[in-house]
A and B are shown apart, each in its own frame.
Chain A
Amino acid sequence: MSRRNDLESILVIGSGPIVIGQACEFDYSGTQACRVLREEGYRVVLVNSNPATIMTDPELADRTYIEPLSLDVLTAVIERERPDALLPTMGGQTALNLAMGLADRGVLAANGVELIGAKSEAIQTAENRERFKKAMTEIGLACPESGFAHTLEEALAVGESIGFPLMIRPSFILGGAGTGIANDRDELVKLAAAGLAASPITEILVERSIAGWKEYELELMRDGADNCVVVCSIENFDPMGVHTGDSITVAPAQTLSDPEYQLMRDSAFACIRRVGVETGGSNIQFAVDPRSGEQLVIEMNPRVSRSSALASKATGFPIAKIAARLAVGYRLDEVANDITKATPASFEPTIDYVVTKIPRWAFEKLPGTPDRLGTRMQSVGEVMAIGRTFPESLQKALRGLEQGRAGLNADAGEAAYDRLETDELLERAALPTPERPFQLEVLIRREVPVERVAEATGIDPWFLHGIAEIVAARRSLEGAELAALDAGRWLELKHLGFSDAQVAHLTGEREEDVRAARLALGVRPTFKTVDTCGAEFAAETPYYYSTYEDEDEVRPASRPRVLILGSGPNRIGQGIEFDYCCVHASLALRAAGYETVMVNCNPETVSTDYDTSDRLYFEPLAEEDVLAVIAAEQEAGAGGVAGVILALGGQTPLKLAGRLPESLVLGTSASSIDLAEDREAWSALCARLEIPQPAGGTVRSIEEAREVVARVGYPVLVRPSYVLGGRAMEIVYDDDRLASAMAELAGFDAVSGGPAGSLGREGGLSAERPVLVDRFLEDAVEVDVDAIRDRTGEVLIGGVLEHVEEAGVHSGDSACALPPQTLSGETIAVIERYTREIAEALGVQGPLNVQYAVKLGQVFVIEANPRASRTVPFVAKATGTPLAKIAARVIVGATLDDLRAEGMLAPDAGWSQTGQVSVKEAVLPFSRFPEVDALLGPEMRSTGEVMGIAPSFGLAFAKSQIAAGTPLPDGGTALFSLADRDKAQGVLAARALVDLGFGIAATEGTATFFAAEGVPVASVVEKVGSNGGRGRVELLDLVRSGEVTIVVNTPKGRGPRADGASIRHAASQADVPILTTVAAARAAAAGIAEWRRFGLSVKSLQEHHAAAGGGEAFPPQS
């Protein structure tokens, strides 16, 4: 067997926006698949709605559709492109579900499209729990006792026959949404109802709960000749009961003896064969009873997954890349092992290190959510660390999380546990939360026996003994003088993963001094290679991790290197967009003849693919680790490190600006970065440039905050400096709220887990990190500008984006349009001029993002960041100008003229001549956090974004809403409940919807206002909780009834507003689109109107870009 020559064109479906449970890993897999298929000479057609992905770069496919991932869109693309095959296994659950939908609709058969990688039958068997369980029973594998239920009555009957506790899992769901453990009948009723609603086929599995059992995963590959291999085994630190995406996991499996491991392997092969995944990767989860070794099969994913991305990074075996080759006919033994080049892929990687993955959560951004981990995945990102031992990799991972912790305690953050009684702590540690590893360390340090901790938590003693080693070493250091550490003791600490910062904390010294002392003793990290084979064969690929051993493997270099610092684990506010920028930097610089070195610790990403850069260091982005990489590369010869790029990885690398040797920081200088961040200096700069800013000031206490308010008046925007994604930003309308906002910023309470602690952990309020209090401009239009200034001073305006939501909604959560839809040419000219002046004044060399608010024609500058912004990929996709690549080249010294001469920058490149409108819409995680108010505000809470491209704003907005999963309705009733200040504008939106045939329902005040303005209100609804009767409709009933098809509810500031919150909650639970700004409501009305006129049409990026500037009309397609 080898390449299938009967296929010419292959359709690949991406996974859409980043959501909890589906993140960068599918950009990594999709990108690998597209590259491989094109290398093999196939014509690749790609559909994905997420513009911040590498896979949607127009170079990666022959036809790239940035279009909503809906069956209608895919049908249109299939009819237009006529692919021979569809590869559905690279885009997560989303792509798999869409492929099944296309098969069910008959679209695949009608167009002669073959499913490759996994057939319908196999997908059905793996995904439908009833069929899966039956299949496993047939081959003699045990699954937990269970039964399926399609109604509440069935759920109760099944549940009572098995006995409590029970696990409830809805069928066909993503990331475990709607799953939970029921301990009694009441909990079963509640969970079953939610689960049935969450399942697209209204089916749940009610099964014996095996919480507390050990959990394992095997990552497998199978080829068309039935060759199977295990790529990686993974053991969860957290026992069953915590979603694997929310568990700390370790590779390889640690506590299985070989007979047990081989039994699991045999079962996994039997499973993949029975399910019938013909080619590609699959992931199979097992539960193991720690008392008897009994093994149960929990589930299998017949596709690449988050775990397979982790396994690929953990072993160096690129699962998605090889899966793509297998899908087009190759066998494992026909594919070379990329790392050794000399051996085939038909083997099982063996590793000589330990990999630890730790999820990162965003509970601090979702107030009201208990930070309890369970069967429903809640994390937004993850970090991976490699060490020679478990303790080393655990501590490296903890510092890679960038949550202000230097490792497993032994830092300022541990003080939070001091006042907790041991019994209380043990009780807390029994519940899985993000705090648990730190609690375990404290418990063991307080000499609670490992056996007792193991019993309380269900965590295997093996892991706890690893923590105990860390504890023992830490104890030996307490009260010690730094001078007492000789090289031997240093090595012992480093072997257990202790950071210089931890040693500094324990010895009462400064981190710099500790590091200097260590280096003076010659204790420095060695870098080892990830090579798939435990060093049995020579590795061709320089993929490194640090550890403290005898031998260093960094190979000599032939050219000067540019280091690119990545963005670390995904979090809200910093995710795939920055990885995109880093990857582009590497590609652009490699093409320009530089050798690139990537430093990052996020296993999901394209940047940590060993193919992306010339060298990859899988390391935390902490000062110590980055300095060590720089030192290693300096020693690798050939001119050493030419410089370090900080401006493309978001706030993470930028924070290191002042910590790295100044001469190595490429592009904008550390002092310019500081100038933009330092509120007072920045205000002075704006004043000098005569650029208006909202009035405000910098405060360090509540008293100072009151003084500023006295001067500027309410409402004010309160925000900390040096944070990303609007962390803890708030619009404050009164004194009470001002006081509580300031208290939250100052607070530090990691143990309570309340919102107060989260910011404290990131540094809290201090003289170095003051709070900014500014007059908040109500009803202003917010504008984002992405620009690049080169060393000669020329400024390229990459794009001007107008936000759909007004100022006050975080730019990351707001929909925005390019080109702007309501700004006058004059205003845009002012904005462009200000941007150039700011770029010049800051001495920017590289990317710059400036945010403005426009109120009544006056332009105010809100802030400027001399780094790539979240919108860079969107702008690049909208305009066809490769902004991130240009930025990278400019950072290392190219001029825009040079890039024009090379052809990277089109001579007539301009953001406003795109010939179509692009709308970016944010995707929010509220459906996963029922406790959280589905409200937009200055604190960013979206996890991802989608893009809609169309000839008009209305159509592009409508597309963006479909892509975001909340398509606009075509009729029904629009429910309005507006804050007073929004009522006047709300009338315009309501009128537009009435013209489109919508009925209007409104809460009393809004209804009265509308009626006075002549808008017909069909029903006036009761506010929540009032049961006055009087013939009026209960609001929540109306939302739940299905009559309401769209909700427009604008809040008054932030804070508990019971009414609004419960309306939004009901709407989000009922999947009714909810708009929390009037501007969005008007955009929706325009979208509905135009959608009716023109309907759906699709067009590839390649066609858009070819047409851009040429003014070619958008050819409507049907």
Chain B
Amino acid sequence: MKGSEMAASPVRHECPEALLVLADGTVFRGRAFGALCAEGTVATGELVFNTVMSGYQEVITDPSYAGQVVAFTYPHIGNYGINAADEESDHPQVRAIVVRDLVHRPSSWRAEGNLEDYLAAHGLGGISGVDTRRLTRHLREAGAMCCALGVADEATLHAAARAEPGTEGQDLVGSVTTKTPYRAGSGPLSIVALDYGIKRSIVAGLAAHATVEVVPAATPASEVLARHPDGVFLSNGPGDPAALGGLVDELSQLLAKVPIFGICLGHQLLASALGGSTYKLTFGHHGGNHPVKRLANGVVEVTSQNHGYAVAADSVSGADVTHVNLNDGVIEGLAVPAMRCFSVQYHPEASPGPHDARYLFAEFVRMMQGAA
């Protein structure tokens, strides 16, 4: 439907009606916004839901969401606008967003613009007015799946959704990793961070303790070791860890030679290098409220999470499970003290989310200092 046809009714009709169609044929109605307003513009990707109530900008700019369309369960998105300080990378990484209500008039002393303009400026958009709760309930049962959305007919979108490869078996790291190494921080310790799609807040978290050199994901182990780092960090990133065998092989070369700390995809790759295997979760963990138990002291951390894959239980025989998710028992942390490496599935850097697990950065520092 064209914009002009909507003029008869003056209430919030500035955007054309749009559809969101899932690979299984389920259809949701709403209105397009941003770049998707243009008729025939279709976004596709693997559709996941995220349950954070604040922090949409961090989510949208998190490289781990490359290849995905994110549906927010909280209905009002865009309340406090967007600002440069909250970006987790230099541009939005999602393919599109799905919301119940897109807020056009943000209110915050921090706001530098509104969300729709920001997405549109990057050629992105989404669909609003969607019964996102119905969508969430559907994904919860049917599992994460591919989707297509835009101002187009159902058949076109369904076909596009089905043609979308999704993340399974996909190497998406190459599309988000840095092309050239860069430095951050100035501490006496030095860390080489392998960038599989690293968030800025992780770089900042490491840089608060050490000099960090962020290097492309494909940097060979020999080159990493040649830098004589006090520690190696394995970053978060998008996609299926099982498709990253080459990276795992390089990682294996680092084991026991240098202290290693991994987060999210970094955790999955470390587990793989230790001989473990990964699997796809039905609908993943995407939110800021997941309880994780730190087995060493029994304390519960409320954590920020964003992953669709997880390390299979008992697949990593040589490692200690250090953290578990209390909702579903998923392995959230591993450590091999003898090899001076550890990793967590969740996000201690938060952004968005609670700061309960920031101690892990200090723990990595202690491990590196023990090695020094």
Q: A residues engaging B (CB < 8 A)?
A: 225-227, 229, 233, 252-262, 265-266, 290-293, 331-333, 342-344, 346-354, 388-390, 450, 460-462, 465, 469, 472-473, 475-476, 488-489, 492, 528, 533-538, 549-551, 553
Q: Does the CB pair B300–A332 fall under 8 Å?
A: yes
Q: Considering only CB atoms, which chain B residue lies closest to A289 in the complex?
A: B109
Q: Considering only CB atoms, which chain B residue lies closest to A333 in the complex?
A: B300
Q: With A226-B299, A262-B350, A489-B9 as known contacts, state yes or no: A550 contacts B131, CB within 8 Å.
A: yes
Q: How far is the CB of A838 from chain B (nearest CB, A)?
A: 51
Q: How far is the CB of B64 from chain A (nearest CB, A)?
A: 16
Q: Does the CB pair A389–B101 fall under 8 Å?
A: yes
Q: Does the CB pair B137–A349 fall under 8 Å?
A: no
Of the candidates B54, B100, B107, B140, which one forms a contact with A465 in the assembled complex, judged by CB atoms under 8 Å apart? B107
Give chain B residues whose Cβ lies under 8 Å from the Cβ of A265: 354-355
Q: Does the CB pair B136–A534 fall under 8 Å?
A: yes
In chain B, positions 213-248 with a C-beta closer than 8 Å to chain A are none
**Nearest 4 pairs of A and B residues by beta carbon:** A258-B55, A534-B73, A551-B134, A258-B352
Q: How far is the CB of B353 from chain A (nearest CB, A)?
A: 7
Q: Does the CB pair B131–A549 fall under 8 Å?
A: yes
Q: Considering only CB atoms, which chain A residue lies closest to B141 in the complex?
A: A538
Q: How far is the CB of A335 from chain B (nearest CB, A)?
A: 11
Q: With A226-B299, A255-B107, A550-B28 as known contacts, state yes or no: A533 contacts B51, CB within 8 Å.
A: yes
Q: With A257-B86, A460-B107, A472-B10 as known contacts, state yes or no: A227 contacts B136, CB within 8 Å.
A: no
Of the candidates B101, B107, B287, which one forms a contact with A350 in the assembled complex, judged by CB atoms under 8 Å apart? B287
Cα of A550 to Cα of B10 in the assembled complex, Å: 23
Q: Mark B86-126, 1 if CB is under 8 A from A, else 0.
A: 10000000000000110101111110000000000000000
| Max chain A Cβ within 10 angstroms of own Cβ: one of B49, B85, B291, B299 | B291
Q: With A265-B354, A350-B289, A549-B134 as known contacts, state yes or no: A257 contacts B51, CB within 8 Å.
A: no
Q: How far is the CB of A796 from chain B (nearest CB, A)?
A: 47
- List 15 A–B pairs whose Cβ atoms lie within 8 Å, in order of A's numbering: A225-B299, A233-B53, A258-B54, A259-B351, A262-B353, A346-B291, A346-B300, A354-B76, A388-B100, A462-B105, A465-B105, A476-B11, A535-B133, A537-B327, A549-B134
Give chain B residues whose Cβ lies under 8 Å from the Cβ of A261: 54
17 A-B pairs besides A350-B74, A353-B75 with CB distance below 8 A are A225-B299, A252-B54, A252-B74, A258-B351, A333-B291, A333-B293, A346-B326, A347-B291, A348-B302, A350-B287, A350-B288, A352-B73, A389-B101, A460-B107, A465-B107, A535-B73, A536-B287
In chain B, positions 7-58 with a C-beta closer than 8 Å to chain A are 9-12, 28-29, 49, 51-55, 57-58
B80 at the interface (CB under 8 A from A): yes
Q: Considering only CB atoms, which chain B residue lies closest to A454 in the complex?
A: B107
Give chain B residues whose Cβ lies under 8 Å from the Cβ of A535: 49, 73, 133, 136-137, 140
Q: With A352-B136, A460-B107, A492-B11 as known contacts, state yes or no: A388 contacts B326, CB within 8 Å.
A: no
B170 at the interface (CB under 8 A from A): no
Cα of A677 to Cα of B208 in the assembled complex, Å: 74
Cα of A229 to Cα of B290 in the assembled complex, Å: 11
Q: Does the CB pair A256–B11 fall under 8 Å?
A: no
Q: With A225-B299, A257-B80, A346-B326 as known contacts, state yes or no: A293 contacts B54, CB within 8 Å.
A: no
Q: How far is the CB of A465 from chain B (nearest CB, A)?
A: 4
Q: Mark B264-296, 1 if CB is under 8 A from A, else 0.
A: 000000000000000000000001111101000
Interface of A is mostly: loop
Of the candidates B106, B136, B291, B354, which one forms a contact with A262 in the assembled complex, judged by CB atoms under 8 Å apart? B354
Q: Does the CB pair A461–B105 fall under 8 Å?
A: yes
Q: B residues engaging A (CB < 8 A)?
A: 9-12, 28-29, 49, 51-55, 57-58, 73-76, 79-80, 83, 85-86, 100-101, 103, 105-110, 131-134, 136-137, 140, 287-291, 293, 298-300, 302, 326-327, 350-355
Q: Considering only CB atoms, which chain B residue lies closest to A549 in the complex?
A: B131
Cα of A347 to Cα of B327 in the assembled complex, Å: 9
Total residue contacts A-B, CB cutoff 8 A: 179
Q: Does the CB pair A388–B10 fall under 8 Å?
A: no
Cα of A106 to Cα of B107 in the assembled complex, Å: 53
Q: Does the CB pair B290–A347 fall under 8 Å?
A: yes
Q: Does the CB pair A528–B133 fall under 8 Å?
A: yes
Q: How far is the CB of A208 from chain B (nearest CB, A)?
A: 20
Q: Does the CB pair A476–B9 fall under 8 Å?
A: yes
Q: How far is the CB of B259 from chain A (nearest CB, A)?
A: 28
Q: Does the CB pair A350–B52 fall under 8 Å?
A: yes
Q: Does the CB pair A388–B355 fall under 8 Å?
A: no
Of the candidates A226, A252, A343, which one forms a contact with B326 in the assembled complex, judged by CB atoms under 8 Å apart? A343
Of the candidates B75, B103, B140, B327, which one forms a contact with A352 in the assembled complex, judged by CB atoms under 8 Å apart? B75
Q: How far is the CB of A695 from chain B (nearest CB, A)?
A: 58
Q: Considering only CB atoms, which chain B residue lies closest to A254 in the complex?
A: B79
Q: How far is the CB of B362 from chain A (nearest CB, A)?
A: 16
Q: How far is the CB of B283 from chain A (nearest CB, A)?
A: 8
| Max chain A Cβ within 10 angstroms of own Cβ: one of B57, B73, B352 | B73
Q: Considering only CB atoms, which chain A residue lies closest to B139 in the complex?
A: A535
Q: How far is the CB of A753 from chain B (nearest CB, A)?
A: 30
Q: Does the CB pair B86–A390 fall under 8 Å?
A: no
Q: Does the CB pair B100–A389 fall under 8 Å?
A: yes
Give chain A residues whose Cβ lies under 8 Å from the Cβ of B354: 262, 265, 348
Give chain B residues whose Cβ lies under 8 Å from the Cβ of A354: 75-76
Q: With A258-B352, A265-B354, A461-B107 as known contacts, state yes or no: A551 contacts B76, CB within 8 Å.
A: no
Q: Does the CB pair A225–B298 fall under 8 Å?
A: yes
Q: How far is the CB of A311 from chain B (nearest CB, A)?
A: 14
Cα of A290 to Cα of B83 in the assembled complex, Å: 16
Q: Does the CB pair A462–B134 fall under 8 Å?
A: no
Q: Does the CB pair B75–A388 fall under 8 Å?
A: yes
Q: Does the CB pair B300–A227 fall under 8 Å?
A: yes
Q: How far is the CB of A392 from chain B (nearest CB, A)?
A: 9
Of the candidates B51, B75, B108, B132, which one forms a contact with A255 in the assembled complex, judged by CB atoms under 8 Å apart? B108
Cα of A265 to Cα of B356 in the assembled complex, Å: 10
Cα of A426 to Cα of B51 in the assembled complex, Å: 39
Q: Considering only CB atoms, which chain B residue lies closest to A474 in the complex?
A: B11
Q: Considering only CB atoms, which chain A residue lies closest to B110 in the complex?
A: A257
| Max chain B Cβ within 10 angstroms of own Cβ: one of A257, A293, A473, A488 | A257
Q: Does the CB pair A258–B52 fall under 8 Å?
A: yes
Cα of A8 to Cα of B101 in the assembled complex, Å: 52
Q: Considering only CB atoms, which chain A residue lies closest to B105 in the complex?
A: A465
| Max chain B Cβ within 10 angstroms of own Cβ: one of A348, A349, A475, A534 | A534
Give chain B residues whose Cβ lies under 8 Å from the Cβ of A473: 11
Q: Does the CB pair A293–B109 fall under 8 Å?
A: yes
| Max chain A Cβ within 10 angstroms of own Cβ: one of B83, B137, B300 | B300
Q: Does the CB pair A536–B140 fall under 8 Å?
A: yes
Q: How far is the CB of A537 from chain B (nearest CB, A)?
A: 7
Q: With A225-B298, A350-B73, A537-B140 as known contacts, state yes or no: A488 contacts B9, CB within 8 Å.
A: yes
| Max chain A Cβ within 10 angstroms of own Cβ: one of B55, B75, B83 | B75
Cα of A603 to Cα of B284 in the assembled complex, Å: 34
Q: Does the CB pair A551–B133 fall under 8 Å?
A: yes
Q: How far is the CB of B22 from chain A (nearest CB, A)?
A: 13
Q: How far is the CB of B114 from chain A (nearest CB, A)?
A: 11
Q: Considering only CB atoms, which chain B residue lies closest to A493 in the complex?
A: B11
Cα of A347 to Cα of B288 in the assembled complex, Å: 10
Give chain A residues whose Cβ lies under 8 Å from the Cβ of B288: 348, 350
Give chain A residues whose Cβ lies under 8 Å from the Cβ of B140: 535-538
Q: Does the CB pair B107–A333 fall under 8 Å?
A: no
Give chain B residues whose Cβ lies under 8 Å from the Cβ of A536: 49, 51, 73, 136, 140, 287
Of the candidates A259, A389, A538, which one forms a contact with B75 in the assembled complex, judged by CB atoms under 8 Å apart? A389
Give chain A residues whose Cβ lies under 8 Å from the Cβ of B353: 258, 262
Cα of A233 to Cα of B54 in the assembled complex, Å: 11
Cα of A226 to Cα of B294 in the assembled complex, Å: 13
Cα of A226 to Cα of B300 in the assembled complex, Å: 9
Cα of A293 to Cα of B109 in the assembled complex, Å: 7
Give chain A residues whose Cβ lies under 8 Å from the Cβ of B12: 469, 472, 492
Q: How far is the CB of B154 from chain A (nearest CB, A)?
A: 15
Q: Does the CB pair A352–B108 fall under 8 Å?
A: no
Give chain A residues whose Cβ lies under 8 Å from the Cβ of B86: 257-259
Q: How far is the CB of B309 from chain A (nearest CB, A)?
A: 17
Q: Considering only CB atoms, which chain B residue lies closest to A469 in the complex?
A: B12
